[in-house]
Amino acid sequence: VVTGSASGIGAATKQYLESRKYKVIGVDRHSADVIVDLASTQGREDLIAQVLRLAPSGIDAVVANAGVNLPDVLTLQVNFFGGVATLEGLRPLLRRQSPRAVLVASRVVLQPVVDDIVEACLAGDEELAVRLGDALPAELKARLYASSKLAAARWLRRVAGSDAWAAAGIPLNAVAPGSVDTPMIGHRNSDELARTLRERPMPLGGLAKPHEVAAVISWLLEPDNTKVTGQMIFVDGGGETLMRREDIWSGTVR
Protein backbone atom coordinates (compact mmCIF):
# COMPACT_ATOMS: atom_id res chain seq x y z
CA VAL A 1 0.00 0.00 0.00
CA VAL A 2 1.45 3.35 -1.02
CA THR A 3 -0.28 6.56 0.06
CA GLY A 4 0.05 9.71 -2.02
CA SER A 5 0.40 7.44 -5.05
CA ALA A 6 -1.08 9.86 -7.59
CA SER A 7 1.96 12.11 -7.78
CA GLY A 8 5.66 12.62 -7.15
CA ILE A 9 7.48 10.21 -4.83
CA GLY A 10 4.37 8.06 -4.25
CA ALA A 11 3.75 7.60 -7.98
CA ALA A 12 7.44 6.79 -8.54
CA THR A 13 7.40 4.26 -5.67
CA LYS A 14 4.30 2.57 -7.06
CA GLN A 15 5.90 2.39 -10.49
CA TYR A 16 9.22 1.12 -9.08
CA LEU A 17 7.51 -1.65 -7.10
CA GLU A 18 5.27 -2.62 -10.02
CA SER A 19 8.33 -2.90 -12.27
CA ARG A 20 9.50 -5.55 -9.76
CA LYS A 21 6.18 -7.37 -10.15
CA TYR A 22 4.65 -6.36 -6.84
CA LYS A 23 0.95 -5.56 -6.79
CA VAL A 24 0.50 -2.08 -5.37
CA ILE A 25 -2.64 -0.58 -3.87
CA GLY A 26 -2.38 3.16 -4.48
CA VAL A 27 -4.08 5.55 -2.07
CA ASP A 28 -4.77 9.21 -2.74
CA ARG A 29 -7.47 11.86 -2.86
CA HIS A 30 -7.86 11.17 -6.59
CA SER A 31 -6.58 8.87 -9.35
CA ALA A 32 -5.95 5.90 -7.03
CA ASP A 33 -7.28 2.43 -6.12
CA VAL A 34 -8.40 3.78 -2.76
CA ILE A 35 -9.66 7.35 -2.78
CA VAL A 36 -9.69 8.88 0.69
CA ASP A 37 -8.83 12.10 2.47
CA LEU A 38 -6.20 11.23 5.08
CA ALA A 39 -6.74 14.56 6.81
CA SER A 40 -10.07 13.32 8.15
CA THR A 41 -10.96 10.64 10.69
CA GLN A 42 -13.51 9.22 8.28
CA GLY A 43 -10.93 9.06 5.49
CA ARG A 44 -8.47 7.22 7.75
CA GLU A 45 -11.16 4.69 8.72
CA ASP A 46 -12.19 4.25 5.08
CA LEU A 47 -8.54 3.58 4.18
CA ILE A 48 -8.39 0.55 6.49
CA ALA A 49 -11.79 -0.79 5.38
CA GLN A 50 -11.01 -0.42 1.68
CA VAL A 51 -7.54 -1.97 1.89
CA LEU A 52 -9.04 -4.88 3.81
CA ARG A 53 -11.62 -5.30 1.07
CA LEU A 54 -8.95 -5.25 -1.67
CA ALA A 55 -6.49 -7.48 0.24
CA PRO A 56 -8.50 -9.70 2.60
CA SER A 57 -5.53 -12.02 3.22
CA GLY A 58 -3.31 -9.12 4.28
CA ILE A 59 -0.56 -6.95 2.83
CA ASP A 60 3.23 -7.17 2.63
CA ALA A 61 4.13 -3.53 3.10
CA VAL A 62 2.89 -0.02 3.70
CA VAL A 63 4.45 3.29 2.67
CA ALA A 64 3.04 6.34 4.47
CA ASN A 65 4.03 8.95 1.93
CA ALA A 66 1.03 11.27 1.39
CA GLY A 67 1.87 14.79 2.43
CA VAL A 68 1.37 18.49 1.94
CA ASN A 69 3.64 21.44 2.59
CA LEU A 70 1.32 24.33 3.38
CA PRO A 71 1.43 27.07 6.05
CA ASP A 72 -1.77 25.59 7.42
CA VAL A 73 -2.83 23.01 10.03
CA LEU A 74 -3.81 20.69 7.17
CA THR A 75 -0.08 19.94 7.07
CA LEU A 76 -0.28 18.45 10.60
CA GLN A 77 -3.47 16.58 9.81
CA VAL A 78 -2.15 14.91 6.66
CA ASN A 79 1.55 14.48 7.40
CA PHE A 80 1.53 13.51 11.07
CA PHE A 81 -1.96 12.32 12.00
CA GLY A 82 -2.72 10.84 8.56
CA GLY A 83 0.72 9.22 8.37
CA VAL A 84 0.56 7.66 11.84
CA ALA A 85 -3.04 6.52 11.28
CA THR A 86 -1.92 4.86 8.04
CA LEU A 87 0.91 2.96 9.71
CA GLU A 88 -0.94 2.05 12.89
CA GLY A 89 -4.20 1.29 11.10
CA LEU A 90 -2.65 -0.98 8.48
CA ARG A 91 -0.19 -2.68 10.86
CA PRO A 92 -2.63 -5.48 11.77
CA LEU A 93 -2.99 -6.22 8.05
CA LEU A 94 0.80 -6.70 7.68
CA ARG A 95 0.51 -10.42 8.13
CA ARG A 96 2.30 -11.88 5.16
CA GLN A 97 5.77 -13.41 5.22
CA SER A 98 8.06 -10.35 5.30
CA PRO A 99 6.04 -7.39 6.54
CA ARG A 100 7.68 -3.98 6.13
CA ALA A 101 6.74 -0.32 6.69
CA VAL A 102 8.22 2.99 5.59
CA LEU A 103 7.40 6.57 6.49
CA VAL A 104 8.35 9.41 4.17
CA ALA A 105 9.70 12.12 6.46
CA SER A 106 11.93 14.96 5.24
CA ARG A 107 15.28 16.61 5.75
CA VAL A 108 13.19 19.56 6.96
CA VAL A 109 13.39 17.90 10.44
CA LEU A 110 16.67 19.84 10.73
CA GLN A 111 14.83 23.18 10.42
CA PRO A 112 13.11 25.09 13.28
CA VAL A 113 9.87 23.62 14.64
CA VAL A 114 7.17 24.67 17.11
CA ASP A 115 7.91 22.53 20.19
CA ASP A 116 4.39 22.62 21.68
CA ILE A 117 2.93 21.41 18.43
CA VAL A 118 5.44 18.58 18.13
CA GLU A 119 4.56 17.50 21.69
CA ALA A 120 0.81 17.71 21.01
CA CYS A 121 1.29 15.51 17.94
CA LEU A 122 3.32 12.99 19.91
CA ALA A 123 0.62 12.96 22.60
CA GLY A 124 -1.84 12.03 19.84
CA ASP A 125 -3.88 15.17 20.60
CA GLU A 126 -4.99 16.30 17.16
CA GLU A 127 -7.45 18.84 18.50
CA LEU A 128 -4.74 20.57 20.55
CA ALA A 129 -2.19 20.43 17.73
CA VAL A 130 -4.70 22.04 15.36
CA ARG A 131 -5.67 24.69 17.92
CA LEU A 132 -2.01 25.59 18.54
CA GLY A 133 -1.33 25.61 14.80
CA ASP A 134 -4.28 27.88 14.06
CA ALA A 135 -3.13 30.29 16.75
CA LEU A 136 0.40 30.65 15.35
CA PRO A 137 1.30 34.06 13.94
CA ALA A 138 1.42 34.03 10.14
CA GLU A 139 5.21 34.28 10.02
CA LEU A 140 5.58 31.02 11.99
CA LYS A 141 3.07 28.95 10.05
CA ALA A 142 5.76 27.76 7.64
CA ARG A 143 7.16 25.82 10.64
CA LEU A 144 4.11 23.55 10.63
CA TYR A 145 5.72 21.43 7.92
CA ALA A 146 8.96 20.84 9.86
CA SER A 147 6.91 20.27 13.02
CA SER A 148 4.77 17.60 11.34
CA LYS A 149 7.82 15.79 9.97
CA LEU A 150 9.88 15.98 13.18
CA ALA A 151 6.92 14.65 15.18
CA ALA A 152 6.53 11.78 12.70
CA ALA A 153 10.26 10.98 12.84
CA ARG A 154 10.22 11.00 16.66
CA TRP A 155 7.09 8.84 16.71
CA LEU A 156 8.94 6.34 14.55
CA ARG A 157 11.94 6.28 16.90
CA ARG A 158 9.55 5.78 19.81
CA VAL A 159 7.67 2.81 18.39
CA ALA A 160 10.01 1.02 15.97
CA GLY A 161 11.70 -1.11 18.64
CA SER A 162 8.47 -1.98 20.45
CA ASP A 163 6.46 -5.18 20.67
CA ALA A 164 4.06 -3.85 18.05
CA TRP A 165 6.77 -3.43 15.40
CA ALA A 166 10.26 -4.93 15.86
CA ALA A 167 9.20 -7.75 18.16
CA ALA A 168 6.31 -8.48 15.79
CA GLY A 169 8.84 -8.88 12.97
CA ILE A 170 8.07 -5.61 11.19
CA PRO A 171 10.94 -3.27 10.29
CA LEU A 172 9.70 0.33 10.36
CA ASN A 173 11.99 2.92 8.80
CA ALA A 174 11.85 6.39 7.29
CA VAL A 175 13.42 8.23 4.42
CA ALA A 176 14.23 11.92 4.72
CA PRO A 177 14.53 13.36 1.23
CA GLY A 178 16.18 16.68 0.54
CA SER A 179 14.61 18.62 -2.34
CA VAL A 180 12.86 16.36 -4.83
CA ASP A 181 11.62 17.40 -8.24
CA THR A 182 7.87 16.87 -7.71
CA PRO A 183 4.76 19.07 -7.90
CA MET A 184 5.25 19.82 -4.16
CA ILE A 185 8.10 22.18 -5.01
CA GLY A 186 7.03 22.78 -8.62
CA HIS A 187 5.81 26.30 -7.86
CA ARG A 188 9.38 27.43 -7.14
CA ASN A 189 11.04 29.28 -10.00
CA SER A 190 14.64 28.56 -11.00
CA ASP A 191 16.02 31.40 -8.83
CA GLU A 192 14.19 30.09 -5.77
CA LEU A 193 15.37 26.55 -6.45
CA ALA A 194 18.96 27.71 -6.86
CA ARG A 195 18.68 29.53 -3.52
CA THR A 196 17.23 26.43 -1.83
CA LEU A 197 20.13 24.33 -3.12
CA ARG A 198 22.62 26.96 -1.94
CA GLU A 199 21.13 27.11 1.54
CA ARG A 200 20.35 23.40 1.79
CA PRO A 201 22.92 21.79 -0.47
CA MET A 202 22.73 18.44 -2.23
CA PRO A 203 26.33 18.00 -3.41
CA LEU A 204 25.80 14.48 -4.75
CA GLY A 205 24.00 15.21 -8.00
CA GLY A 206 21.77 18.14 -7.00
CA LEU A 207 17.97 18.02 -6.88
CA ALA A 208 16.65 14.45 -6.48
CA LYS A 209 14.33 12.76 -8.95
CA PRO A 210 11.36 10.91 -7.40
CA HIS A 211 12.64 7.52 -8.60
CA GLU A 212 15.88 8.04 -6.64
CA VAL A 213 13.85 8.24 -3.43
CA ALA A 214 11.63 5.36 -4.57
CA ALA A 215 14.69 3.10 -4.93
CA VAL A 216 15.63 3.62 -1.27
CA ILE A 217 12.05 3.10 -0.08
CA SER A 218 11.90 -0.05 -2.16
CA TRP A 219 15.04 -1.52 -0.56
CA LEU A 220 13.67 -0.86 2.93
CA LEU A 221 10.58 -2.84 1.90
CA GLU A 222 12.50 -5.80 0.52
CA PRO A 223 12.57 -9.14 2.39
CA ASP A 224 16.38 -8.68 2.28
CA ASN A 225 16.02 -5.94 4.88
CA THR A 226 15.99 -8.15 7.94
CA LYS A 227 17.80 -6.01 10.53
CA VAL A 228 17.44 -2.31 9.67
CA THR A 229 14.66 -0.71 11.70
CA GLY A 230 13.92 2.59 13.42
CA GLN A 231 16.28 4.38 11.03
CA MET A 232 15.73 7.51 9.01
CA ILE A 233 17.82 7.52 5.86
CA PHE A 234 18.60 10.95 4.47
CA VAL A 235 18.19 10.84 0.70
CA ASP A 236 19.67 14.25 0.10
CA GLY A 237 22.96 13.84 -1.70
CA GLY A 238 25.10 14.52 1.38
CA GLY A 239 23.39 17.76 2.44
CA GLU A 240 22.63 16.53 5.94
CA THR A 241 26.27 15.60 6.49
CA LEU A 242 27.27 19.15 5.56
CA MET A 243 24.64 20.67 7.82
CA ARG A 244 25.14 18.46 10.88
CA ARG A 245 28.79 17.52 10.44
CA GLU A 246 30.11 14.47 12.25
CA ASP A 247 28.86 14.67 15.81
CA ILE A 248 25.46 13.04 15.70
CA TRP A 249 26.14 10.19 18.14
CA SER A 250 26.99 12.07 21.30
CA GLY A 251 25.24 10.84 24.43
CA THR A 252 26.43 7.66 26.08
CA VAL A 253 24.16 4.64 26.32
CA ARG A 254 24.67 2.77 29.59
Ligand X SMILES: NC(=O)c1ccc[n+]([C@@H]2O[C@H](COP(=O)([O-])OP(=O)(O)OC[C@H]3O[C@@H](n4cnc5c(N)ncnc54)[C@H](O)[C@@H]3O)[C@@H](O)[C@H]2O)c1
DSSP string, the chain: -EETTTSHHHHHHHHHHHHTT----EEESSSSSEE--TTSHHHHHHHHHHHHHH-TT--SEEEE------SSTHHIIIIIIIHHHHHHHHGGG--SSS-EEEEE--GGGGS---HHHHHHHHTT-HHHHHHHHHHS-GGGTTHHHHHHHHHHHHHHHHHTTSTTTGGGT--EEEEEE-SB-SGGGTTS-HHHHHHHHHHS--TTTSSBPHHHHHHHHHHHHSTT--S--S-EEEESTTHHHHHH-S----S---
Q: Which CB sits closer to ligand X, 66 or 159?
A: 66
Per CB under 6 A, 13 contacts ligand X: no
Per CB under 6 A, 68 contacts ligand X: yes
Residue type, 71: P
List 24, 61, 65, 159, residue binding ligand X (CB under 6 A)? 65
Question: Which of 4, 167, 169 lies closest to 86 in space, CA to CA?
Answer: 4
List 14, 28, 101, 218, residue binding ligand X (CB under 6 A)? 28
Per CB under 6 A, 180 contacts ligand X: yes
Q: Which CB sits closer to ligand X, 41 or 226?
A: 41
List 25, 78, 144, 151, residue binding ligand X (CB under 6 A)? 78
Cα separation of 102 and 231, whole Å?
Answer: 10
- x-marked contacts with ligand X along 102-121 as a string, rule CB under 6 A: --x-x---------------
List 112, 161, 169, 183, residue binding ligand X (CB under 6 A)? 183
Angle, helices 126-135 vs 115-122, to 10°: value is 160
* Site stretch for ligand X (CB under 6 A), options 74-82, 109-117, 125-133, 158-166: 74-82
In whole angstroms, the minimum distance from the beta carbon of 42 to ligand X comes to 12
Torsion over CA of 83, 89, 100 and 9, rounded to 10 degrees?
-30
Per CB under 6 A, 201 contacts ligand X: no
Q: Which residue is nearest to ligand X (CB)?
A: 8
Per CB under 6 A, 7 contacts ligand X: yes
Per CB under 6 A, 179 contacts ligand X: yes
Per CB under 6 A, 37 contacts ligand X: yes
In whole angstroms, the minimum distance from the beta carbon of 108 to ligand X comes to 7
In whole angstroms, the minimum distance from the beta carbon of 192 to ligand X comes to 12
* Site stretch for ligand X (CB under 6 A), options 14-22, 92-100, 178-186, 242-250: 178-186
Residues that bind ligand X (CB under 6 A): 4, 6-10, 28-29, 37-39, 65-69, 78-79, 82, 104, 106, 177, 179-180, 182-185
